[in-house]
Structure 1
Amino acid sequence: MKLENANILITGGTLGIGHATAKLLIEHGANVAITGRDEERTQKAARELGAMPITADVGNPDDVARTFQVFMDKYEKLDVLINNAGIGLSRKLEHLTIEDFEKVYRVNVFGAAMMAAHAAEIFKKQNAGNIINIGSTAATKGYEGGSVYASSKAAIRSMTQSWQAELRRYDVRIMLINPSEVTTAFGREDREERESKPNKLRGEEIAWAIKSALEMDCRGFIPELAVWATNPFQEK
């Protein structure tokens, strides 16, 4: 697809992967709206990027519905949904609670699914559209303390495959990007970006992967793509 004048909605676009992706897509001519839960941060990021701000929590069904209403009132057509918003926590098995799962799944799984459901309704009418889900390499290999987060990304992976089976007949492409560790604010209570390191992934590498996947001619698509740091073991 052509990015110029494409209408793109990115959840969690105020920081990290979402912010880097919005920046790159806007630089290549796309019209981009970003969502974020914090109004001040969302407005600030949107001004910096030249994006449309939508203050919304993907874990809130009313906010999800309002997001699409605001977006479609502005652009009238949706070309791409990027399900990027996500939260995580690390907890040993014996300390897990139901609330841990509910908190993370409400955003990572339920929120992504409800965003995709609204997008699918639009895309089926258009007979065209793209959904990119931001997963994780943790979806394919769990880790110590990762019961909640890794399983939420495994759910995203499974949902992606289900949506592919359901929507391909409508010329809708559903793609999964699995980053390994990225130096962003993810998982930090203060929501401040971590310091970038030369041998670690940044949001920019994931943004490049997203852009490249979208730019393939719409007759084909990449079902799943993992992005690893080349040499994360060497301290630099």
Structure 2
Amino acid sequence: MKLENVRALITGGGTGIGKETARLLVEGGAKVVITGRRKDVLEEAAREVGAIPVVLDVRSEDEVRNGVSQAVEKLGGLNVLVNNAGFGNFGPLLELDVQDFREVMETNVFGAMLMAKEAARHFVEHGGGNIINVSSTAGSRGFAGGTAYTASKFALGAMTECWRAELRKHEVRVMQVNPSEVLTDFGKTAGYEQKQSEKKLRPLEIAHAIKSMLEMDDRGFITELTVFATNPD
């Protein structure tokens, strides 16, 4: 599709991958709504990249419903959802806290489902659309200390396949992008320090991948795209 025809809603749009994706899409002529929970961060990002801010918590069914409705109104339609909101709690099994596990699943799995449900309802009623789920290489292989986060990303991949099977007949393209480690604020919020390196992926590389997926002619689509750093330290 042509970027000037894009009417996109990007969750987790105040920082990192969501923010850079919004920037690239807006630069290409798209109209974009970004969402997040922190109003100050969201509004600053929106001013910087030229997007429209809508504060919402993807874990709340009412807020999701109202947020998608606002996006449709503010954009004059909606044909793209980028399910980017997510976070992780990390630690070994013997120290795993059930509430920490539940919080990860509520955002990364239930939140993604709620957003997709509301967006897909609009897409089906209006002749088609695009859902891009931002997952992780952790959605295809586990690692020590990653129980909650990895489980959430495996679940997101399974949901992506189910939605694709259900929605293709309605001209809805359901896609997934799997970044390896990206230098963002994710590590800080997850409680661990990322090793800094100029060779690691930046949010910009993932934003380029998402943009490329959208730009393919509507007669086809990239089901899944995995992005690795060429030679990380």
> How far has the Cα of 1:213 moved from its partner?
0.7
Equivalent residue number for residue 45 of structure 2: 45
Equivalent residue number for residue 164 of structure 1: 164
* Whole-angstrom distance in 1 between the partners of 2:221 and 2:151: 25
Deviations 1:167-220 (A, max 9, x none): 0001100000000000000131399x9796321000000000000011000110
1:67 aligned counterpart, secondary structure: helix
* Whole-angstrom distance in 1 between the partners of 2:137 and 2:131: 19
Letter of the 1:180 counterpart: S
Equivalent residue number for residue 154 of structure 1: 154
> How far has the Cα of 1:4 moved from its partner?
0.7
1:189 aligned counterpart, secondary structure: helix
2:133 aligned counterpart, secondary structure: strand
1:4 aligned counterpart, secondary structure: helix
> How far has the Cα of 1:79 moved from its partner?
1.0
2:53 aligned counterpart, secondary structure: strand
Letter of the 1:177 counterpart: V
Letter of the 1:10 counterpart: I
* Whole-angstrom distance in 2 between the partners of 1:194 and 1:14: 20
* Whole-angstrom distance in 1 between the partners of 2:204 and 2:197: 13
* Whole-angstrom distance in 2 between the partners of 1:196 and 1:221: 34
Q: CA RMSD, aligned part only?
A: 1.6
Equivalent residue number for residue 30 of structure 1: 30
> How far has the Cα of 1:230 moved from its partner?
0.6
* Whole-angstrom distance in 2 between the partners of 1:232 and 1:196: 10
Q: Identity, % of aligned pairs?
A: 51
Q: In the alignment, is the contact (CA less than 8 A) between 1:185 and 1:194 conserved in 2? A: no
Unaligned runs of 5+ in 1: none
Letter of the 2:179 counterpart: P
> How far has the Cα of 1:91 moved from its partner?
1.1
Q: In the alignment, is the contact (CA less than 8 A) between 1:54 and 1:67 conserved in 2? A: yes
Equivalent residue number for residue 175 of structure 1: 175
Letter of the 1:47 counterpart: R
Unaligned runs of 5+ in 2: none
* Whole-angstrom distance in 2 between the partners of 1:195 and 1:229: 14
| TM-score (norm: length of structure 1) | 0.94
Q: In the alignment, is the contact (CA less than 8 A) between 2:7 and 2:77 conserved in 1? A: yes
* Whole-angstrom distance in 2 between the partners of 1:54 and 1:135: 22
**Structure 1 residues 106, 165: closer, same or farther in 2, change over 3 A?**
same
* Whole-angstrom distance in 1 between the partners of 2:160 and 2:40: 32
Pairing 1:1-236 to 2, within 5 Å after superposition: 1-189=1-189, 197-233=197-233
* Whole-angstrom distance in 1 between the partners of 2:139 and 2:226: 11
* Whole-angstrom distance in 2 between the partners of 1:144 and 1:190: 15
Which has the higher mean CA deviation after the structures are superposed, 120-129 or 158-167? 120-129
1:48 aligned counterpart, secondary structure: helix
2:186 aligned counterpart, secondary structure: coil
Deviations 1:26-52 (A, max 9, x none): 000000000010111111111111110
| TM-score (norm: length of structure 2) | 0.96
Deviations 1:5-32 (A, max 9, x none): 4110000001110011000010000000
**Structure 1 residues 15, 104: closer, same or farther in 2, change over 3 A?**
same
Q: In the alignment, is the contact (CA less than 8 A) between 2:87 and 2:190 conserved in 1? A: no
